[in-house]
Amino acid sequence: MLSAFRGAAYVLLACGAAALAGSDAGAQTYGFATLPPGTLNHTTASAISKVLKEKAGLNVLVQPTAGETVLIPMVGRGEAEIGIANAPEIAAALEGGRNKDVRLIGTAHPLRTGFWVRKDTPMKTIGDLKGKRVPMGYSAMRVLDAMTRGALATANLTEKDVSLILVPNVVRGADDFASGAADAFFFAFGGPKVREVDATVGGIRALEINEAGMPAARKIFPYGYLLDAAPGPVFVGVEKPMKVYTFDNVLLTNAKVPDDVVYKIIETLEANKPDLVAVQPVLREFAAASLYKQYEMPYHPGALKYFKDKGIEAKALQ
């Protein structure tokens, strides 16, 4: 009797262990590499991760990093399955055959950026930064150094015309501005840090850019273009309709991530846009039809299959 009971118990334990093992095997975790908390990209990654977990059953965990120069190689090595970074940073990371396993999913949304100053200063345009203390360098976000130099070039300024405050990333630049160590800071519109700094210093103003200076900017940073911005909750410091310096924010993955997973990611995001926007308002501009652009970087086969199935053609760069 006791022997039979023990036998039955062992069978039950074995079945339970097998069930748990099967459950663990099915609970794949996907890392999502992004920028530090307070950045636009961290909020975007949080929104996407939430939707993928709740709507597609994908256990996606946000992994903050110091910057794109850290996160892109992480995705390339398979230490994170998904990432988000600006297009020029990805292109730089792929130069010379480096990070050969990085693949694009597509453009998540335009990345509108700007220089901000305190609202109580007389500065109104990028040209007014001459002689001022300006964060640059961006050792953890190397492409942003070229981008900020491109923005300065729209006002016929170079780094020699400003007092450089060397910073590793945009969060540090914003902190230096808030503490009084810099006269301006550079950030993406929609980043929580921008609103935090606005509250900390009693108001900030976005500097206007000279559209006629864009040819000079493109000689330094060919990925930049201008988009409209108007006063509103996302556009802190914008006092009137204006053009702002923009480039693309791109979702990336690793070549070894299964095609059906990448396909499912796009399909889920497209079907649940209101849930994305509820967490990250800038994702109002997300659309599967806008993911595919003519970048000279490889797309993941799962993304290409989605584009083919939906009849989505690659769009020319602006």
Quickly tell me which residue has 């990432």 as its tokens: 83
Question: 119 and 97 in one domain?
Answer: no
| Nearest Cα residue to 113 out of 230, 241, 226 | 226
CB atoms within 10 A of CB 308: 11
Residues 124 and 241 in one domain: yes
Specify whether 169 is located in the same domain as 242.
yes
In the chain, the N- to C-terminal Cα span, in Å, equals 80
- In the numeric block, which tokens belong to residue 305? 């299959």
Written as six digits, the tokens of 152 are 């300065």
Q: Which of 302, 313, 269, 308 is nearest to 103 (CA)?
A: 302
Same domain, 213 and 194: yes
Give pLDDT, residue 141.
85
Which segments in the chain show pLDDT lower than 70? 1-27
- Length in residues, the chain: 318
269, HSE (Cβ side, Cα atoms, 13 Å): 31
pLDDT value of position 317: 82
> Which tens digits make up the pLDDT trace of 161-170?
999 999 999 9
130 CB contacts (<8 Å, ≥6 apart)? 155, 157, 161, 162
Give the end of a domain, one of 247, 263, 289: 247
Domain that holds residue 301: 27-109+248-309
Asked if 150 and 96 sit in the same domain, the reply is no
Q: Name the residue among 76, 82, 77 with its Cα closest to residue 62.
A: 82
- % of the chain beyond a pLDDT of 70: 92
Residue 224 shares a structural domain with residue 152? yes
Q: What is the pLDDT of residue 22?
A: 36
**Which pTM was predicted?**
0.78
Return the percent helix, strand and coil in the chain, to nearest 5. Answer: 45, 25, 30
The Cα 301–Cα 318 span in angstroms is 24
Please state, in angstroms and rounded to a whole number, the distance separating the CA atoms of residues 57 and 298: 27
Residue 17 lies in a domain: no
79 near 152, Cβ under 8 Å?
no
CA nearest 90: which of 271, 267, 300, 283?
300
Domain identity same for 104 and 253: yes
| pLDDT attached to residue 26 | 43
Identify the pLDDT of residue 10: 36
Both 82 and 144 in one domain: the answer is no
Q: How many CA atoms lie within 13 A of 132 on its CB side?
A: 23
CA distance 247 to 110: 6
- pLDDT value of position 143: 83
- For the segment 250-288, what is each residue's pLDDT rounded down to a tens digit? 999 999 999 999 999 999 999 999 999 999 999 999 999
User: Is the domain of 225 the same as that of 192?
Assistant: yes
Under 8 Å between Cβ of 95 and 178: no
Report the interhelical angle of 192-201 vs 170-179 (nearest 10°). Answer: 10
Give the DSSP letter of residue 69. H
3-state secondary structure of 312: coil
Instruction: Please tell me the total count of domains within the chain.
Output: 2
Give the per-residue pLDDT at 2. 35
Residues 172 and 243 in one domain: yes
Give the pLDDT score at 60.
98
Report how far residue 286's alpha carbon sits from residue 277's, in angstroms, rounded to the nearest whole number: 9
Half-sphere exposure of 274 (CA within 13 A, CB side): 0
**CATH number of the domain enclosing 116:** 3.40.190.10
CA distance 116 to 73: 31
pLDDT at 241: 96
pLDDT, residue 24, reads 37
